Amino acid sequence: MLIDTHGHVNFNAFKGDAQEVLRRALDSDIWVVMPGTQYSTSKRAVEMAGQYEEGVYAAVGIHPIHLGEKRHVDGLELQSALLETARPGRAQFLAGFETRSEEFEYEKYKLLARSERVVAIGEVGLDYYYESKNKTKREEARKKQRHALREQMKLAQELNLSVIFHCRKAHEDLLALIDGWNGRGVVHCYTGTTEQARRFVEKGLHIGFNGLILKQVPALPSPEEVVSSIPLERIVLETDSPYLAPPQAKEERNEPLNVQYVAEEIARIKSISLEEVARVTTQNAKTLFGI
Ligand SMILES: [Zn+2]
C-alpha cells in the first residue's frame, strides 16, 4: 500500500473522470490526500473525499500564489524540466490558469476544515518565484504571504491538523517562520538544499517527494543527495497531480497511481526494498494525517 499525500484530483484537469482516477488508485491500494489551493478547490476536495469511506482525504487552505495580484500561471513552466520527455498531444491543463487574488478568511476556512475527512491545512506557504520586480511591491506581497501562512498555521493548531507547506525559493523564510512552532507538517514537493532539509527534519517536519526526484533539474540540488540525507521515517510520497508526471507515465496528466514510480526511485536511491519504502512511508503519512 502507498499514500499519495499530494494529488489534486479536485482540480479541473480531472473534471470528467475524477472518480475513475480515484478508483484506479484505490484498486491498486493507493490512498490519496487532495489539497485545496483556494476556497473553491478546497471545498471540492472536501465534497469529493466525503464520498469515500476510506482512502480519499482532503486538505483545505489558500496557496500563496492566490494571495497576490491576479496573473496567469503557465502550466508548462510548472512542469519544469520533466517535460523533456515529450508525450503525444498536449494536455489542456498545461495551458495554465488565472490566479484568484483571494484573502484568507479564518472563520470561513475553519468551518470547511471541520468537515469530515479533512486531514490537513494545505497547501499553504511561501512562493517567491512569481515576484514583482518592484521592491516595495515584492516586500508587500511577501508580507501578505507570511501573514496568511501564520494565520493558517494557527488554524491547524486550533483544529489539531497537520500543515501541508508549499515552499518555492523561500526556504530560509519558512524555516524562520516555523521556528518555535510545534505542529505537524510536511514540506511538499521539496526543492530546497540538503542542509535546509536537515533543518526541516530537526524541527520535526516531514519531506514530500514526487516525480521531481526522477530527474536532475538544473536549478535544483541533486535529488539523490537530498533523498539520501533524510531518514526514511521522515519521507512521504506524493505526485502533485496533475503536474509533474514522471518520465515513465504514459500521459502528461499525472495521477495518484504514478506514486509507485516515486516509491521505486526512493528504494533505488536508498538501496532498500520497495516493500520497506511502502511500509514506512505509508506509516509516516498515516501518523502525519491521523488516518
Ligand atoms: Zn500542489
**Which residues, including other chains, have CB under 8 Å from residue 174's CB and lie 6 or more apart?**
125, 126, 165, 167, 187
Stated pTM of the model: 0.93
What pLDDT is recorded for position 191? 93
Distance 123 CA to ligand 1 centre (A): 6
- DSSP, collapsed to helix, strand or coil, labels residue 222 as coil
Residue 113's domain comprises: 2-289
Least confident interval from 20-24, 74-78, 168-172: 74-78
What whole-number distance in Å separates Cα of residue 163 and Cα of residue 200?
A: 13
Distance 240 CA to ligand 1 centre (A): 5
Is pLDDT above 70 for 66?
yes
CATH code of residue 236: 3.20.20.140
Torsion angles phi and psi, residue 114, rounded to 5 = -85, 0
Distance 61 CA to ligand 1 centre (A): 11
User: Is the previous residue joined to 88 through a cis bond, with omega within 30 degrees of 0?
Assistant: no
What whole-number distance in Å separates Cα of residue 209 and Cα of residue 134?
A: 33
Cell 514583482 sits on residue: 132
How many domains in the chain?
1
Please write the tens of the pLDDT for every residue from 200-251: 999 999 999 999 999 888 878 899 999 999 999 999 999 999 999 998 988 8
Distance 8 CA to ligand 1 centre (A): 7
Is pLDDT above 70 for 82?
no
Is pLDDT above 50 for 273?
yes
Distance 185 CA to ligand 1 centre (A): 14
Distance 188 CA to ligand 1 centre (A): 8
What pLDDT is recorded for position 76? 57
Least confident interval from 86-90, 105-109, 180-184: 86-90
Please write the tens of the pLDDT for every residue from 17-33: 999 999 999 999 999 99
Count CB neighbours of 144 within 10 A: 15
Residue 15 grid coordinates: 473534471
What whole-number distance in Å separates Cα of residue 224 and Cα of residue 119?
A: 30
Count CB neighbours of 133 within 10 A: 6
